[in-house]
Each structure stands twice: as structure tokens, then as C-alpha cells.
Chain A
Amino acid sequence: MQHVEAARRLRHYLEARQPAERFLHGAICSVALAELRSGTSLGGHREELDGRSVLLAARDQLPAALALIELDGIARRVVLCPPDLATEHLPEIAANAQVDAIVSDRDAADFANLEIPLHIRATSAIRPAAAPSGDRRTIWLLLTSGTTGAPKLVSHDVASLSAPIKPVHEVPLWGTFYDIRRYGGLQIFFRALIGGGSLILSSAGEPTADHIARLARHQVTHLSGTPSHWRRALMSPTLRAIAPSFVRLSGEIADQAILDNLRAVFPRASIGHAYASTEAGVAFEVNDGLAGFPARFVSVDRGEVDLKIEDGSLRLRSSRTASSYVGRDAPALRDNDGFVDTGDMVELRGDRYYFVGRKGGIINVGGQKVHPEEVEAAINRHPAVWASLVRARKNPITGAIVAADVVLKDSSIHDGDTTAQTEREIIALCRQNVAPHKVPAMIRFVPSLNVSETGKLLRHGPS
């Protein structure tokens, strides 16, 4: 039975439940999923993509979603580019994924420097076409941030992405604050498709109130986002216009305050938080309304997901994990026993484990990873800086925020005006060189940093 499931292509799920009543709702328009059964959103160029390694780089999520359904089984690989991907990384990504076709709603001229021979326009308009018949095991490459430079490519397929999904009784009308080109959003896209339901897509730059108004208009029943997404939604005066029966959080640590706040606003909903990462897939869901997870989840050879804790970090083994990183010099993703190290540090208190931060000082700002080394490199470019240490500082809005301790070359400077000016310059320098969520929110000037015996900066968990 599992074999049959594993061989399914995404388009097969279009047949579930009542195809004529299922939709993908974008910010501008909606598409009936039934139309895709004998139609194409790729302007009749589907055959040209047969066996290609496709860079899917659409601005809008709706054409991206339609292209994903169509390309699965046809393309050899699909690279899912989120909308905020820096264009400077595209050449390295294209080389590592051996891209030989681009599917995008943007102009071919935007990708001219990549010298990819085939550019096909992704649209939200369905034209009649023969039913697709490709049966290739398409590899889905998701992006995850690396220590420096271009994001890493993480290899999944429909089998690993759909493995966590259980059959549901009610027909879900899913909504998500995520983008479907990220793992958390992609899971919801799969849940909507496989569960026989519909999906209301988010839209980059859309005001929260407008997004919630769309969720209300379509009468969303299932809604997911990171704790940061939810905190923002809780600040919206219109949140009470929706009444989802199923509320999910993932991508960041869900603290007790956010769980309690959601319980107060949606008293009848099933509210749970899931642990998942791009590399490790979905590990578990916690549905008892409490932060952390029960210690009994940590077990090997007893369920679908093996969990163990080594050196304080959570490690996972299951059919849901990615198979590998892809590209030149790609590191191993699994250890010899097949476990993926999530890098998430946990601590046992009583009979529950709690997440306490990231290994290697990696900072999670609203679900987006920040490697301190990258920010330190940006700070250290300032001519007055001797050394810097970037660390996580706890934050009630985004879980954590970037803070920096900086040692100046001239440690005798204590004049407030001079340091305030230097602080402004450092922040301006960071804004030029790193993404906004990586720019330190505050800088503290310190006389020295702690260095270990091996000469490395001593990093600590969130302060």
C-alpha cells in the first residue's frame, strides 16, 4: 500500500473529493483545481520541460502553485525559489541544481545573466491541454540558509513531503501565513491537495488586515503560521472575523503565551504546534495546549519518527526527512544511522522537553535563520571595529532578535556621541550587506569578548 502511495504524482490528488468545488485562491484571482485536469498554466509548453531541471522563480504564489502541480512527474528537478531570494545567489543555485529551464511570471530579461536556454512563463490562466501523463520521480529542491553565501539546496520528493499527512474526515479549507515555497507553507499546500480541500494563498506585501479579510471571505477552516505570524495576526482588529476549527503553529518555538492567546481568541479550535524543519521534515505535533513536548516522544523504533537527543540537540530519522543536500561540496545531511541533526537544543524539565535555542548560535528571527558569523563579518568591516559577537536576544514578537557585542579598536572611547555615531554607522553598514532580519536591533560596546582555549568566540544561548 505504501508503494502505491509513494508512486503518486501531485496531479492525482486533484481527483480527491469534489474536484469541481476545490480552488486555489490567490490575492487577485482564484483557480478551480478541476481546470488543471485537462489544462495547462504553462501556455502549452509543458512538453519542453520534460526531464529538465527547472528553476521555479515566480513572484506570485498562485502561478507557482499551479506550475508545481503540473511539473511534478514531468520535470527532473524543481527548485522552489521563495520571493525574497536575493538575485545575487541565483547563479550559484542554478549551477548546483544544474538548472536548464526557468519557469517564472517575471520577464526573461530578469534572468539573462544565468544564460539558461529555456524560459517559460508561469501564469494563473488555464488553457485547455491534454491531461499530463509524466511519471517521473521529480526531485523538489527547497532552499535553506547556509552559514555564508548562497542558500543550501535540500532534496525532497512527493513521498517525503506527503509522508507526514494523515487522512482527514472533514474537507479542509486551508489558509497559511507562510509562502508555499518554504517547507512550512509547502506542507499546507500538500495538505490542501491531498486532503481534498482548497487553499487560500498568502501574498507578499499584502497588509495583514486584507489577508485576514480574504481568509474570512472564503471561510477558512484550517490556518497555519509561525508564532511570529500569529502574534502579528493577534494585533489585527479583524482577527475575530475568522473562526478556524484548526489552528497550527510551526517553524519557531511556540511559547505558552502565544498558545494561551490563541486559545482565548479561538476557544473552540483545535490548537497545536508542530515541530518541523526543511531538512528533517515534520517530526511531531503537540496538541495538549502546552509549550514544549512530552519526553515520551523521544524514542527509537516505536513509531513513524525516531527521535533521539545527542549533545543536547534533537535528532530525527523518518521517511519524512530530506534525502540530501545537493550541489558541489554539499555536506552530508544524515549521519551513518540515518539521523538528521536539527541543531535545535532541548532541555528536559520534569516530563517535558523545551527548546532552548540553536546549536552554533544560529538565531531564529520569526522563522528565518540567522548565522551570527555572517552578521559579524558585516560589522567587522567598519574601520573602528576590532571584534564582534552576534547573539540571540529573546523577543516576544519574533521569538528572538539579533543583538551584537562590539569591541572597538580604540577602547578608550567612552564619549556617548561618538559611540552613538559609530552604532548608527555599523547598523547602516549591516543594512547594506545583510537581509533586514539579520541587522542587529541593538549594539552594546564592550571592552572584550570571551574567547575559548581554542581561540573561538564563546557563544551562548539566548540571553
Chain B
Amino acid sequence: MTIKATVISEIEQIANQHHKILAPLTDDAILLNTGLDSLCFAVLVTRLEDRLGVDPFSTSDDMIFPVTLGDFVRVYENAAR
């Protein structure tokens, strides 16, 4: 599974568990408008750490918070390199 597919599958699963309705998950989707709240993002980052073995938000000091889904996936792709 690609990193992008992993991210999207986790987002869908978390939205389902938290009873959130998701907006279309395109690359330019604004993360805050996807339907996930802060708690969902927190769960997402934890689950991705377990699945991908990286938490780019905690390991990088000069981390800039991602705005779009495409940014978010790129952060993980860069961290996994």
C-alpha cells in the first residue's frame, strides 16, 4: 500500500469510528474542512506512527503544519525516505 493510500484508509476508518462525514479526499482538500476534528487528527497521527513507523510532527523541529491533504501526505513521504 502506498503512503497516500494508507493515510486515506486510516482517515476513512477514523471518520467512520467517530461518526464524521468526510468531504472528498482530494490532494487540495483543506484538512480542516475534511470533517475531522482535532481529536481525529491526533488519532490519525498515532495510528500512522504505528503503521508507517514515523511521526514526522514530533521528530522534526522546524515542522510547518500542513494545510492540505496533499501537504499532509508529502510530510509522511518525506519522513519515510
Contact = CB atoms under 8 A, between A and B. Distances in A.
Contacts of A165: none
A241 to B, nearest CB: 13
Interface of B: 17-18, 30-33, 38-39, 41-43, 45-47, 50, 55, 57-58, 61-67
A436 to B, nearest CB: 6
B42 A209 contact: no
A388 interface: no
B45 A208 contact: no
Contacts of B43: 401, 441-442
Contacts of B38: 228, 231-232, 366, 397-398
A207 B47 CA distance: 25
Contacts of A365: 39, 42
Contact of A366 (B42, B45, B66): B42
A236 interface: yes
A256 interface: yes
A394 B18 CA distance: 20
Given A235-B31, A237-B67, A366-B38, A397 B61 contact: no
B46 A235 contact: no
Contacts of A260: 61-62
A431 B17 CA distance: 9
Contacts of B62: 260
Contact of B32 (A235, A257, A393, A436): A235
Nearest to B71: A235
A457 to B, nearest CB: 22
B49 to A, nearest CB: 9
Contact of B57 (A228, A397, A427, A442): A397
Contact of A264 (B18, B39, B55, B64): B64
Contacts of A441: 42-43, 46-47
23 contacts: A231-B65, A234-B65, A235-B31, A235-B41, A235-B67, A236-B30, A236-B67, A237-B67, A256-B61, A257-B58, A257-B61, A264-B64, A365-B42, A366-B42, A394-B58, A395-B42, A395-B45, A397-B42, A398-B39, A398-B42, A401-B46, A442-B46, A442-B50
Given A235-B31, A365-B39, A436-B39, A395 B66 contact: no
A312 interface: no
Nearest to A208: B32
A427 B47 CA distance: 14
Given A237-B30, A237-B67, A442-B47, 9 more contacts: A209-B32, A209-B33, A231-B38, A235-B65, A257-B61, A394-B58, A397-B57, A401-B43, A441-B47
A394 to B, nearest CB: 7
